[in-house]
Amino acid sequence: MARSDDAIRILQGLLVFGNVVIGMCGIALTAECIFFVSNPHGLYPLLEATGNDDIYAAAWIGIFVGFALLALSILGIVAVIKSNRTLLLVYIILMLITYAFEMASCITAATQRDFLTPNLFLKQMLERYNKSEAVNNNDKRMTEGVTKTWDKLMLQNQCCGVQGPTDWQEYTSVFRTTHSDADYPWPRNCCVMNAQGSPINLDGCKLGVPGYYNSNGCYDAISGPMNTHAWGVAWFGFAILCWTFFVLLGTMFYWSRVEY
């Protein structure tokens, strides 16, 4: 039965190769998700205040799934080479569990990304930025987080508001209750600053002279990193799962051909 043996050898080789790829993808997934969880753009407080920070949960799951994929791929390689039925069965079942977790992570990341619209951030900014009275400690913490994040965003990205400085004029806000419209048509960080951190021309900023205030909105600076985060977790996970699907099918077929 040399021909059948050759076919089985080829299948073994393919399965080992498949598991090597899964292992490497597992390491990549872990690294990517650690990067996202470390909050490199400082946008986590905005998400936390929306009450919907599930893309971070998805990234956390991704870290552990990546480790699991690495460990299981090594188990898979050993099981295929030894052709041990028990090991192969353990491998298949554990891989299916990991598959289910990774599926949850991908779907969560994709669904939550759809939830993060410009209006959501606009409403949050107007209702929380520079809010002076807090309901409770949790509310206070989230308000401080939102205020600090927006101040940093506007300063570093030279932008103002979500769609532009007119956001502060078109809508009422908590900021407006403590800062009069004549003194602060928009927050101070919307002014172009010099190296020392003060506006280069405060009157020009209040008048809205182009060049002395930031006239573009910050939404691009928010949605860019969030899109990368969500799509990175969702679609890379999707690619890994597609590959794993074929490897698992092959392993199931291989298991059914191994005799005790």
Binding site residues, another protein, CB under 8 A? 1, 4-5, 8, 83, 92-93, 96, 99-100, 103, 106-107, 110-111, 113-115, 117, 119-120, 122-123, 126-127, 165-166, 169-173, 176, 180-183, 185, 203, 206-210, 213, 215, 234-235, 238, 241-242, 245, 248-249, 252, 255-260
Closer CB to another protein, residue 185 or residue 232? Answer: 185
HEC-encoded secondary structure of 116-154: CCHHHHHHHHHHHCCCCCCCCHHHHHHHHHHHHHHHHHH
Instruction: Please state the closest distance from residue 154 (CB atom) to another protein, in A.
Output: 15
Closer CB to another protein, residue 40 or residue 178? Answer: 178
Instruction: Please state the closest distance from residue 17 (CB atom) to another protein, in A.
Output: 19
Instruction: Please state the closest distance from residue 213 (CB atom) to another protein, in A.
Output: 6
- Among 176, 166, 169, 165, residue whose Cα is nearest residue 129: 176
Instruction: Please state the closest distance from residue 202 (CB atom) to another protein, in A.
Output: 11
* 3-state SS class at 211: coil
Closer CB to another protein, residue 123 or residue 141? Answer: 123
Instruction: Please state the closest distance from residue 236 (CB atom) to another protein, in A.
Output: 12
Report d(CA 222, CA 116) in Å as an integer. 10
Closer CB to another protein, residue 19 or residue 173? Answer: 173
Closer CB to another protein, residue 43 or residue 234? Answer: 234
Closer CB to another protein, residue 197 or residue 210? Answer: 210
Is the separation of the CB atoms in 106 and 234 below 8 Å?
Answer: yes
Report d(CA 260, CA 248) in Å as an integer. 20
49-68 in b/e form (b: 16+ CB < 10 A) is bbeebbbbbbbebbbbbbeb
Sign of CA dihedral 165, 171, 176, 180: positive
Instruction: Please state the closest distance from residue 165 (CB atom) to another protein, in A.
Output: 6
